[in-house]
Homo-oligomer: A and B are copies of this chain.
Amino acid sequence: MAIQLVTQSVGDALVTSLRERILADEITAGTAVTEASVATEYKVARQTAKAGIERLVGEGLLERTAHRSARVPLLDETRVQDLYFARGVIEVRAYELLASKRLLTPEALTAHEAFQACSTGSNVADIVQADVAFHRALIDGLESDRLSRAHSVIINEIRLCLAQVQNAHLLAPAEIAEEHQTIITAIRDGNVPRAGEVGLEHLRHAERNLLEYLRR
């Protein structure tokens, strides 16, 4: 068996870079992301740029209608609600299943500790990153490619919202860490209903904060 090399096509690299920049709020909402601009910026063919944009549209990180430029979608109330509702459907059931199996992967625990570690710091992007990583690690524990993928799409769009809000109205990191701990405890105890409840409560807090920010 030959050693496997990890290669990446130009198109893949382009999508990865664009995705990062969007999630980092470097490409701000509302500004046009034209095929030509991406093409010249990255020195790639327009077709390549087009393909990349289309993939991101598929992920919900860009929006476009026919013959008009793609844009990073603007955060609005219905979007946030839809996003957290869909996320809740997946995560609540996932946490219940994890609890029923008392399944806590080392990755999830590591992610939790990593969050606690950087929660004392002030870098908001890091905190968001660590928060997302924790939830992702929990879902990944169920070892379902399809579920992880569905969850990932939704959570990426949520990261988009968080990026736009920035440090403005996040919960206190300490509070988030505490809620994460209750989720872990519920799973470890095999307390199925509680795992679902605290998971849902955790999401509700995040959603409420975002909505309050939007309504001000």
Interface residues, chain A, with chain B CB atoms under 8 Å away? 7, 9, 47, 51, 54-55, 58, 60, 66, 82-83, 85-86, 89-90, 92-94, 97, 142, 144-147, 150, 153-154, 157
Contact = CB atoms under 8 A, between A and B. Distances in A.
B147 A86 contact: yes
Copies in the complex: 2
Given A55-B58, A85-B147, A150-B153, 12 more contacts: A7-B66, A9-B66, A83-B146, A85-B144, A86-B147, A89-B93, A89-B94, A89-B97, A89-B147, A90-B93, A146-B157, A150-B150
Contacts of A90: 89-90, 93, 150
A83 B149 CA distance: 12
> What does DSSP make chain A's interface, helix, strand, loop or mixed?
helix
Nearest to A146: B86
- Among A82, A86, A90, max chain B CB count under 10 A is at A86
A47 B58 CA distance: 18
Contact of A154 (B47, B150, B154): B150
A60 B149 CA distance: 11
A94 B85 CA distance: 11
A107 to B, nearest CB: 19
A146 B82 contact: yes
Contacts of A142: 85, 89
Contact of A51 (B54, B60, B154, B157): B54
